[in-house]
Amino acid sequence: MKLIAAVALLTLTATPVLAQTMPATPAAPAPATPGAAATAPAKLSIDSSIEQLVASPAAKAVLEGAIPGISSHPSFDSFKAMTLTQVQPYSGGVVTDEVIAKVTAGLAAIK
């Protein structure tokens, strides 16, 4: 019982301190520098996650050309955050070195 009373007392006494240290509203993001170049999206590569590759129509076409049906695979949600090289040992021979080379070449050709 003393422990519950102590926790309640600490909670009540700490609340005003937290309220004083926390800003009332979140800080606004800094405005963009005029004339600054927009950051170009990262170039997709074999090191991109499968999910990132499927999100790009051109990269998805490359990926589906090498591994038909990968984006509609029943276990897609289980491996979509991985790269092809990470999936390779678990693919049962579907993702071979040749498939990775084909995808690598296809992704490099995307402009």
Q: What is the pLDDT of residues 35-63, one digit of tens each?
A: 544 554 678 999 999 999 999 999 999 99
Phi, psi values for residue 93, rounded to 5°: 90, 0
- pTM (whole model) above 0.75: no
Give per-residue pLDDT as tens, 2-34.
434 333 444 444 444 444 444 555 555 555 555
Cα gap 39→74, rounded to integer Å: 35
Give per-residue pLDDT as tens, 77-91.
999 999 999 999 999
Domain boundaries, the chain: 50-109
Residue pair 102/96 in contact (Cβ under 8 Å)? The answer is: no
Residue 102: which residues within 8 A CB-CB, separation 6 or more? 65, 66
